[in-house]
Amino acid sequence: MTPFALEPLFFERLLKEKVWGGHTLAKRFSLQPEFDGPLGETWELSDYPGEETTVRGGAHAGKSLRALMEEVPEVVLGNSQPSADGRFPLLVKFIDAGDDLSVQIHPPDGPKSPTGVGKTEAWYILDREPGAGVICGLKPGTSQEVFAAEAGDSRVRNHLAEIAVESGDCVMVPAGQTHAIRGGVVLCEVQQTSDVTYRMYDWDRLGLDGKPRETHLQQALEVVDFQLPPAIPYRATFGLARATGGLQNSVLVSCDYFRLEELRVGSVGGDLRGQGFAQTLSVLSGQGDVASLDNSFAPRELIPGDTLLLPGGLEGVRLCASSDQEPLSLLLGVAL
């Protein structure tokens, strides 16, 4: 059997047309969707059934993440745990909210999810128009009875916690948290590998087909966690040492499924060790390259929007920014 070539895995992104999408992502990453409608999401790394991303370049070009998980799951995952249905546990996407997303909620793992897999997620805010924010949670003291009566129409707005965000903020969205991304926000999302969403209220708008989009009020109400407080945005904290150009990291959020860190590295470069866990890397800003620690694979260029998977069996990589003037900023997702 030919040894598995251990190297960072880049993927062909999947572009998703959404009624609430916009045009910011297409401009930001120089994308050309094949559809005429607004671009809402790009799925950068996915093992979701029927939506698996395919490796771009390198020794495994053309293989899907699903195929690699079937062939060498122990190499891909390392010490990371697969999802309850045996999939790669994390899905990474960029979201462009040209308009408000529906007021929605995701179920936890278990019987309240039709697949058995829940959806806890986290948002890293890339950009936002003046005044734009997110909804993440219910106002303290919200009555379960009153909310149930009003969640399916415009009255739900009276109970939603509006959260102000800035570029660089990170917001944790656990399963059971009522939420919506407001129009004008662009973000990177790291989540469990699930696409189960229960819509409560969709702002009385029509879908791309000209008909009202389906809502799932009863299923949504069954998974609302009224004990969850409204979200608090978190930001990376870097010391003055970043001026030396080496690699720095700052933990943003952590849960049972993943840990998110923001990385910054200058032109001096720095080593990122794998520690036995599968890791995702998304380039937020800057340019640079990712190289081998032992010359086992050729360096690959990194540009904004690139998302790559560092298999759990990979010892680590060396990251380096192209310029002294602009550090390479990345979002690291560690699959737990």
Pairing mode of beta strands 234-235, 160-164: unpaired
d(CA 330, CA 206): 36
d(CA 143, CA 149): 10
Cβ partners under 8 Å of residue 192, min gap 6: 83, 89, 90, 91, 117, 118, 119, 120, 121, 257
Question: Residue 95 phi/psi, 5° resolution?
Answer: -125, 130
In angstroms, what CA-CA distances link 178 with 20, 96, 200, 230, 282?
Answer: 18, 19, 9, 9, 26
Catalytic residue set: 199
Detail the DSSP E strand segments found in 13-89: 14-22, 39-45, 54-55
- 229, 137 contact by CB (below 8 A): yes
Amino acid at residue number 312: G
- CA-wise closest residue to 330 among 297, 313, 307, 310: 307
d(CA 98, CA 104): 17
Can you tell me whether residue 308 is helix, strand or coil?
Answer: strand
Counting every residue, how long is the chain? 336
